[in-house]
Amino acid sequence: MTQYLLFDDNLEAREVASTPQTAETAVPSTDTHAAAPMGAVDEDKATRMARVREPALVCTRCDLARTRNHVVFGEGNVESPLVLVGEGPGENEDATGRPFVGRAGVMLDEVLKENGMNRGHVYICNVIKCRAANFENGRLVNRPPRVEEAAACRTWLDAQLEIVRPLVIVCIGGPAASALIHPNFAITRERGIWFSNTPHAPWVMATLHPAYVLRLSGPGYEAARQRLVEDIGSARRKVIEARKQRPPTLF
Ligand code: URA
């Protein structure tokens, strides 16, 4: 019952349930703002998300439908003011149907925890919902989504963001930033910068993808990981700031 305090000024880490809220587990609330207590989710948002999820799980809008094991729709707190958007599912996500459950996901969980958060505080999804991979030397190797795959999948991402209507979006990695901030996004130059001119949320920023961080070693790894921690902390503070500025009638 402490989640609504998380995005207040008190930045101390605190115990919260980490179980992602779903239409099934959500307790209905009449509060349409994101500042509802943990365990109380806007029924309408949860119901709407469940309604979008259903056709997404059987989507055949692109050829990735032929090779996927699971559609990785997204999960978390549909009432959260903070949405994290990654590029797309990898092997572990394809196997489980859940976003960010491989090594990159473990790092993301750690980084959230270092900022006093867990998956119950945020909504997590990807630009594409099915694994993009090529068959090479007898095994599937992840590849970036093709433009037409991302375009075909866009309808689901747009619907998710329209339902959650977050105050803040963090793009996890350059491809998500290219989809949500601007098409020529350069993660080296533009990470950590706040953009307010996008249609999806008042504030959008991109950070390093944990999979990129995991490919580094030594001081480079430490510095990149620290940047990721700081960017997620900055996102939490941006929610607090935006809440103070936002006219109560918006969102
Ligand atoms: N990388 C992503 O971008 N998304 C996931 O869900 C997992 C790894």
Contacts of 188 (CB under 8 A, 6+ apart): none
Reported as a single tens digit per residue, the pLDDT across 136-181 is 999 999 999 999 999 999 999 999 999 999 999 999 999 999 999 9
Residues in the chain: 251
In sign, the C-alpha dihedral spanning 215, 225, 112, 124 is: negative
Query: Is 76 near ligand 1, meaning CB less than 6 Å away?
Result: no
Q: Are 42 and 146 in contact (CB under 8 A)?
A: no
Q: Strands 139-142, 133-136: parallel, antiparallel or unpaired by DSSP?
A: antiparallel
pLDDT at 27: 33
Which of 111, 126, 142 to mutate to test ligand 1, by most ligand atoms within 8 A of the CB atom?
Answer: 126
Count the neighbouring beta carbons within 10 Å of the beta carbon of residue 37: 15
pLDDT at 171: 98
167 in helix, strand or coil?
Answer: coil
pLDDT band at residue 24 under the 50/70/90 scheme? very low
- Report CA(213)–ligand 1 centroid distance (Å): 13
Reported as a single tens digit per residue, the pLDDT across 181-228 is 999 999 999 999 999 989 999 999 999 999 999 999 999 999 999 999
Domain annotation for the chain: domains and CATH numbers: 3-245 (3.40.470.10)
Distance CA(122)–CA(26), nearest Å, equals: 14
pTM of the predicted model, to two decimals? 0.86
